[in-house]
């Protein structure tokens, strides 16, 4: 099934994602930044759906927007320091870092639009990704060829759980 | 234009898969109105059923037997003053109820009322439902924080901690059910809601009875976790009125509070739909593969009309027991008209043309209604869990049991193939 | 309206990456720095999934691993933040300037 009105959805979702990104880095209140980040994550999930990646979109909504952001909001509420409201927001070297990061972004955009190799790659026909069996094929890849990475990722999660619990619990 | 509308009528897929935006919009409107009606009816049923279980009568004054009570409640809530605490964060305070309601209502996109009666059928249907219902936790956290007051903050933190703890056990139980869909010839399972019910139809058994008692264990774990997920009794410590002065929605009044209530009931119906789809065979009638044949089909197709006629019968019984006093004349006439309407719907459902089309929707809604009644029954019967007992049950009892059930299902499934 | 090529997705990912970098280098609040790191990881994910449209599903598998690692890293980072906050009562990156206290 070909997607309907792709360019409208792309521009709409990317506008949402970019405005969420700008709000994340500019709000004084960390809860507002967290909500803007949730907006960005949901917009990106929509973009993944447009890219024939429904499983990644579902994982993004469950893990990122529904898990990691809840963790962030919990921690923001637990370390709710009142004097955050009255302090300076940006640090001393904000001009240099702003120029440097903006320069990096412009460098990326120039490379992407001017490079002939990239244009040639982008013009080849898209791979035949069937949307209705996406999950099954990802399961085949995960448990077939990338089994070692899968096991290492689960070990990493175990280490992270143990580490976070040890660091954050009360010292009796 | 007209053939854009009529071209869908012969298609055999859901409107989302056919790409037909007009019919998708119609289905969305129908589902939205149906859920709102169900929430209103659920409000009335909860008060009446709780009251009868506690040997009292419940609302009797507003309409005949309190039938107009939800409408009176809605009018009262709409007309109440909208109080916002002075130092509350206004943007987040405004956004929190909408987040809860949107998360609850967006899950209905993939709920299958029939083989083609869903708004759409995503490849990741059950994953989408679990994910979007976990966005409701964010709304609750925002509500508690934005109120800028102690009780709502503690209530919100407790409520969201409880919800994310029981989501893990729910996920494991869901994985165990999805595992059972892959026990077909090709060895390929599916995450799509319609595909799960079709797998139950092909394998000839509802998943709650498959590999007894493994399917039953997974079903019971999901049934317990879904009650905790929606913050209902006996897991309603964060929002019970005697504990934390109504928890995260203390500072909300009027219409905003009714949005929270709407979101809570809609989430209850959504997770009940997940339980019905995954374990109880969705839209399939009882015994879909063992009792086949035109005789049995005809018998089971009489159930929708018979249900409504039974309800109409109870209503007329109530009419006859009304006091014979002139003050009650309007109520008696109203109740009689209500009974007449129910009877008329029942008779319409006996017409063969309507009868065949309404079968799937009726069985699905009937099973979800059983779950709703169970919710009310739990609330009347069980005492409340203390918060540490609640977390202990979630992490130390439900999660190991669900993982054990998953491993046992996988082993039995491989051995018996 | 020109057709949406993968270059469009790459430019969006580059913009998100730049915004995340600005956030990491500029803000003083530790939690917002961690959220900007999540923005950077999401930009990388978008890049991976956009290219997997051209070349097959390996990009999406990698994106799933990136999301998993982002979750682990956020958990550990916030644990460090809580442990630090218990000692020094501040969430300012400029005040994390002692190796031992």
B213 preceded by a cis bond (ω within 30 of 0): yes
Q: What one-character DSSP code corresponds to residue B65?
A: G
- pLDDT of A1 > 50? The answer is no
Q: Write out pLDDT tens, residues B189-245.
A: 889 999 999 999 988 889 999 888 999 999 999 999 999 999 887 888 777 755 656
With residue B398 as reference, give the H or E element that holds it.
none
Q: What is the CA radius of gyration of chain A?
A: 21
Average pLDDT for A124-146? 83
Greatest extent of chain C over all pairs of C-alpha atoms, in Å: 59
Q: Does A67 touch chain B (CB under 8 A)?
A: yes
B145: nearest CA in chain A? A77
Q: What is the pLDDT of residue B241?
A: 57
Residue B170, Cβ neighbours under 10 Å: how many? Answer: 27
Q: Write out pLDDT tens, residues B366-383.
A: 999 999 999 999 999 999
Q: Write out pLDDT tens, residues A34-51.
A: 999 999 999 999 999 988
CB contact under 8 A, A138 and C49: no
Average pLDDT for A72-80? 85
- pLDDT of A4 > 60? The answer is no
C87: its two tokens: 């000692």
| Cβ atoms of residues B322 and B328 within 8 Å | yes
Distance from CA of B333 to the nearest CA of A (A): 51
Q: What share of chain C is helix, strand, coil (3-state, %, to 5)?
A: 80, 5, 15
| Cβ atoms of residues A47 and A17 within 8 Å | yes
CA distance linking residue B92 with residue B111, whole number of Å: 30
CB contact under 8 A, A134 and B123: yes
Query: CA torsion sign, B221 to B227 to B229 to B235?
Result: negative
B234 preceded by a cis bond (ω within 30 of 0): yes
| Cβ atoms of residues B70 and B241 within 8 Å | no
The CA-atom distances, in angstroms, between B148 and each of A86, B90, B231, B251, B345 are 18, 10, 22, 9, 50
With residue B109 as reference, give the H or E element that holds it.
none
CA distance linking residue B61 with residue B63, whole number of Å: 6
CA distance linking residue B113 with residue B365, whole number of Å: 8
| Cβ atoms of residues B154 and B302 within 8 Å | no
Chain A CB contacts of C16 under 8 Å are 17-18, 21, 40
The CA-atom distances, in angstroms, between C46 and each of A39, A45, A56, A118, B103 are 15, 9, 10, 17, 24
Phi, psi (degrees; rounded to nearest 5) at A28 = -75, -35
Chain A CB contacts of C90 under 8 Å are 81
Q: Of B405, A10, B17, nearest to C13 (Cα)?
A: A10
Could you state, in order of their start, the residue ranges of all structural domains in chain A?
1-83, 132-172
**What value does the mean pLDDT of chain A take?**
87
Q: What is the pLDDT of residue B384?
A: 87
| Cβ atoms of residues C43 and C16 within 8 Å | yes
C5: its two tokens: 């090529």
Q: Is pLDDT larger for residue B178 or for residue B233?
A: B178
| Cβ atoms of residues B270 and B135 within 8 Å | no
CA distance linking residue A29 with residue A27, whole number of Å: 6
Q: What is the pLDDT of residue A69?
A: 94
Q: Does B353 touch chain A (CB under 8 A)?
A: no
Q: What is the pLDDT of residue C1?
A: 60
C-alpha angle C64-A18-B88 in degrees, rounded to nearest 5: 100
| Cβ atoms of residues B173 and B220 within 8 Å | no
Among C15, C23, C27, C44, the strongest candidate for a mutation testing the A interface, having the largest count of A CBs within 10 A, is: C27
Q: Is pLDDT larger for residue B277 or for residue B157?
A: B277
Beta bridge partners of C24: none
C contact chains, 3+ CB pairs < 8 A: A
Q: What is the pLDDT of residue B246?
A: 64
Determine, yes or no, domain membership for C101. no
Q: What is the pLDDT of residue B244?
A: 56
Per-position DSSP letters for B179-230, written without gaps between them: HHHT-SSS------HHHHHHHHHHHTS-TTTTTTTHHHHHHHHHHHHHHHHT
Average pLDDT for B401-409? 95
Q: What is the pLDDT of residue B70?
A: 92
| Cβ atoms of residues B176 and B406 within 8 Å | yes
Distance from CA of A19 to the nearest CA of B (A): 17
Say which residues have a Cβ less than 8 Å from residue B314's Cβ, sequence separation at least 6: none
The CA-atom distances, in angstroms, between C97 and each of B44, B95, B381, C90, C100 are 61, 38, 57, 12, 9
Q: A–B: how many Cβ contacts below 8 A?
A: 77
Q: Write out pLDDT tens, residues B45-84.
A: 999 999 999 999 989 888 888 899 999 999 999 898 888 8
CA distance linking residue C76 with residue A164, whole number of Å: 5
Q: Does A62 touch chain C (CB under 8 A)?
A: no
**What value does the mean pLDDT of chain B take?**
89
Q: Does A21 touch chain B (CB under 8 A)?
A: no
B contact chains, 3+ CB pairs < 8 A: A
Count of alpha carbons within 13 angstroms of residue A8, beta-carbon side: 3
Q: What is the pLDDT of residue A83?
A: 59
Q: What one-character DSSP code corresponds to residue B383?
A: P
CB contact under 8 A, A44 and C73: no
Among A37, A41, A46, A58, the strongest candidate for a mutation testing the B interface, having the largest count of B CBs within 10 A, is: A58
Among A35, A72, A73, the strongest candidate for a mutation testing the B interface, having the largest count of B CBs within 10 A, is: A73
With residue B233 as reference, give the H or E element that holds it.
none
CB contact under 8 A, B131 and A133: no
Q: What is the pLDDT of residue A85?
A: 66
C96: its two tokens: 């994390």
- pLDDT of A155 > 90? The answer is yes
With residue B293 as reference, give the H or E element that holds it.
none
**Residue pLDDT tens, chain C, 101 long:** 677 888 889 999 999 999 999 999 998 888 999 999 999 999 999 999 998 888 888 999 999 999 999 999 999 999 988 888 887 777 778 777 777 65
CA distance linking residue B287 with residue C64, whole number of Å: 40
A79: its two tokens: 């370390």
CA distance linking residue B181 with residue B278, whole number of Å: 9
Q: What is the pLDDT of residue A138?
A: 92
Q: What share of chain A is helix, strand, coil (3-state, %, to 5)?
A: 80, 0, 20
Count of alpha carbons within 13 angstroms of residue B410, beta-carbon side: 9
Chain B CB contacts of A136 under 8 Å are 188-190
Q: What is the pLDDT of residue B254?
A: 82
Q: What is the pLDDT of residue B17?
A: 75
Is C in contact with B (3 or more beta carbon pairs below 8 Å)?
no
Q: What is the CA radius of gyration of chain B?
A: 23
- pLDDT of A5 > 60? The answer is yes
Average pLDDT for B2-8? 76
Query: CATH classification of A1-83, choosing from 3.30.70.1450, 1.20.120.1200, 3.40.50.2020, 3.90.420.10?
Result: 1.20.120.1200
For tokens 């690692």, the residue is C69
SS (H, E, C) C67-101: HHHHHHHHHHHHHHHHHHHHHHCCCEHHHCCCCCC
Lowest-pLDDT choice from B150-154, B245-249, B396-400:
B245-249
C17: its two tokens: 């990456």
Q: What is the CATH number of the domain that holds C57?
A: 1.10.287.3510
Greatest extent of chain B over all pairs of C-alpha atoms, in Å: 72
Distance from CA of C77 to the nearest CA of A (A): 8
Number of domains in chain C: 1
pLDDT level of residue B14 (50, 70, 90 thresholds): confident
Chain B CB contacts of A77 under 8 Å are 141, 145, 153, 157
Q: Write out pLDDT tens, residues B279-311.
A: 998 898 888 777 778 888 888 888 999 999 999
CA distance linking residue B26 with residue A5, whole number of Å: 20
């Amino acid at each position: 099934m070909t997607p309907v009105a792709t360019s409208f959805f792309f521009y709409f979702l990317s506008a949402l994602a970019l405005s969420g990104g700008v709000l994340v880095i500019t709000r004084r209140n960390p809860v507002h930044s967290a909500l803007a980040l949730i907006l960005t994550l949901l917009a990106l999930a929509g973009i993944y759906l447009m890219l024939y990646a429904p499983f990644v979109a579902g994982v993004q909504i469950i893990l990122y927007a529904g898990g990691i952001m809840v963790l962030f909001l919990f921690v923001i509420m637990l370390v709710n320091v009142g004097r955050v409201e009255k302090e300076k927001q940006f640090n001393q070297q904000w001009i240099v870092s702003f120029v440097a990061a903006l320069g990096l972004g412009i460098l990326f955009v120039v490379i992407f639009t001017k490079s002939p190799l990239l244009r040639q790659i982008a013009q080849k026909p898209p791979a035949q990704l069937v949307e209705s069996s996406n999950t099954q094929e990802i399961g085949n890849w995960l448990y077939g060829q990338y089994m070692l990475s899968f096991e290492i990722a689960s070990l990493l999660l175990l280490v992270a759980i143990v580490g976070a619990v040890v660091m954050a619990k009360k010292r009796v | 234009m007209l053939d854009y509308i009529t071209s869908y009528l012969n298609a055999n897929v859901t409107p989302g898969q056919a790409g037909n935006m007009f019919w998708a919009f119609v289905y969305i409107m129908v589902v939205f109105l149906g859920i709102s009606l169900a929430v209103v009816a659920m409000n009335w049923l909860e008060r009446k059923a709780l009251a009868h279980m506690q040997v009292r009568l419940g609302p009797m004054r507003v309409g005949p037997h309190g039938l107009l009570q939800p409408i009176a409640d809605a009018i009262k809530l709409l007309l109440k003053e909208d109080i916002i605490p002075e130092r509350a964060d206004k943007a987040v305070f405004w956004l929190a109820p909408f987040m809860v309601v949107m998360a609850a209502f967006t899950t209905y996109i993939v709920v299958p009322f029939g083989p083609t009666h869903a708004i759409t059928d995503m490849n990741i249907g059950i994953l989408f439902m679990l994910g979007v219902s976990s966005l409701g936790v964010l709304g609750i956290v925002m509500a508690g924080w934005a109120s800028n007051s102690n009780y709502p903050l503690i209530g919100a933190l407790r409520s969201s901690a409880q919800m994310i703890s029981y989501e893990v056990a729910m996920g494991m139980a869901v994985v165990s059910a999805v595992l059972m869909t892959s026990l077909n010839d090709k060895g390929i399972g599916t995450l799509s809601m319609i595909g799960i019910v079709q797998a139950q139809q092909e394998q000839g058994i509802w998943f709650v009875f498959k590999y007894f008692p493994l399917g039953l264990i997974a079903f019971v774990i999901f049934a317990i976790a879904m009650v905790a997920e929606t913050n209902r009794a006996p897991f309603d410590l964060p929002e019970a009125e005697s504990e934390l002065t109504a928890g995260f929605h203390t500072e909300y009044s009027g219409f905003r509070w009714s949005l929270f209530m709407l979101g809570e009931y809609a989430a209850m119906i959504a997770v009940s739909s997940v339980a019905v789809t995954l374990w109880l065979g969705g839209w399939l009638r009882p015994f879909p593969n063992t009792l086949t044949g035109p005789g049995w089909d005809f018998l089971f197709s009489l159930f929708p009309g018979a249900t409504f006629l039974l309800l109409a019968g109870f209503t007329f019984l109530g009419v006859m027991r009304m006091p014979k006093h002139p003050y009650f004349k309007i109520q008696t006439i109203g109740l009689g008209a209500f009974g007449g309407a129910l009877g008329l719907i029942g008779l319409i459902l006996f017409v063969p043309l309507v009868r065949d089309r309404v079968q799937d929707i009726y069985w699905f809604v009937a099973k979800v209604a059983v779950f709703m009644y169970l919710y009310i029954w739990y609330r009347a019967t069980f005492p409340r869990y203390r918060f540490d007992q609640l977390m202990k049950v979630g992490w130390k009892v439900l999660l190991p049991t669900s993982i054990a059930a998953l491993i046992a299902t996988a082993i039995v499934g491989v051995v018996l193939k | 309206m020109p057709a949406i090529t993968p270059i469009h997705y790459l430019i969006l990912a580059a913009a998100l990456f730049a915004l995340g970098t600005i956030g990491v280098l500029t803000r003083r609040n530790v939690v917002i720095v961690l959220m900007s790191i999540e923005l950077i990881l999401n930009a990388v994910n978008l890049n991976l999934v956009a290219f997997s449209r051209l070349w097959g599903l390996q990009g999406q598998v990698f994106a799933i691993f990136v999301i998993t690692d982002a979750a682990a890293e956020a958990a550990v980072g916030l644990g460090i933040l809580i442990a630090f906050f218990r000692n020094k009562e501040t969430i300012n990156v400029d005040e994390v300037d002692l190796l031992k206290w």
